[in-house]
Amino acid sequence: MSVFSSKAEKVFIFAFFFIALGIPLFFNENTFYVNKISTMLILSIFVMSLDYLVGRTGLITLGHAMFYGLGGYLFAIMLPEYEVVNFWLYTFYVMAASGVIALIVGLIVLRTSGIYMIMITLALAQMTFYFFADSTEYGGLDGLFIYLKPETSIFGLNFLDLDNENHFYYLCLLSLFNCYVFCKVSLHSRFGRVIDAIKENPERATALGYNIFHFRLVSYVLSSSLAAYAGYLFSLQYGFVNPTMMGWEVSASALVMAILGGLGTIFGAILGVFVYESLHYGIEHMTQYWMFWMGSLIILMVLLLKSGIAGLIEQLVGGKRK
């Protein structure tokens, strides 16, 4: 079973990861660009998790950043003071805890749909934002700091030093690859086919005996856990977590990136993040009116590319999406 939905996706994924493997070697000692691309890889995981929920499950949310921020906060809260912990063990802790929280939240928000779901997810995210922003115990707007990065040993063997920018880059790249494979395998499974059917025609799926609430709840928990993992990586990279990671602007920007890349394609999330962030960085250093030109360019691209950048690549490379 191939995880690729089209020839264009196969070409892009092979080309992207092949080039990405050599990035630290290409930039050599220039750690600024290595760190910048590491952040883009982390954002790709976050946007991919949102695309999984919005593009494939059909559940629109403006509160996805709540889990992005929670991933960082959960790690910082669980982390023993001045003690080096195991990255893989705490990855399990963070994703398990965020999964439980997502399950509870999902039981509430999935009782609604459409504009009502957008409103309630936005409200919950803002409530969480202000809870941490007003909390002196959790650092207020300054957030919490992470002074010691985890070690990555497995059975006594340590392959990665997370204080090394290149090693952290490869951890982010591996994480993005695993996230992509997980999303694609799950969507090509029986579960994924049911999710697609529910999105296209929920009434028919219900008539066939599928409990659409349960399938949507599982999708919500999976996508939220992946978002939390991305936030966990972000907090490790920069050594802190604060409430701004949970702001509705973060969710809105991620949604724009998903649409720009090609909603529902999964691999389009990577395209959307890298194009959006590259334009942001380039235009910001060209003019003080960068927000106006950035917004204008994004609007133009969305209007011209109805299926996103992924759709354009599919037209150029050929091969129909499965």
Q: Which of 43-52, 224-233, 292-301 is predicted least confidently?
A: 292-301
Q: Which residues neighbour 194 within 8 Å (Cβ) at sequence distance 6 or greater?
A: 205, 210, 215
Q: Which residues neighbour 20 within 8 Å (Cβ) at sequence distance 6 or greater?
A: 37, 41, 173
pLDDT of residue 288: 86
Find out whether 148 and 84 touch, Cβ atoms under 8 Å: yes
Asked if residue 320 has pLDDT above 60, the reply is no
Q: Report the predicted TM-score, pTM, of the whole model to 2 decimal places.
A: 0.95
- Which pLDDT tens digit goes with each residue over 92-126? 999 999 999 999 999 999 998 889 999 999 999 99
pLDDT of residue 277: 94
- Which pLDDT tens digit goes with each residue over 234-245? 999 999 999 999
pLDDT of residue 108: 93
Find out whether 236 and 162 touch, Cβ atoms under 8 Å: yes
Cα–Cα distance, 133 to 111 (Å, whole number): 28
Q: Share the mean pLDDT of the chain.
A: 92
Span 214-229, average pLDDT: 96
Which of 76-90, 228-242, 282-296 has the largest mean confidence? Answer: 228-242
Extents of the domains making up the chain: 27-246
Cα-based angle 295, 59, 63 (whole degrees, multiple of 5) = 60
Give residue 318's pLDDT band: very low, low, confident or very high (50, 70, 90): low
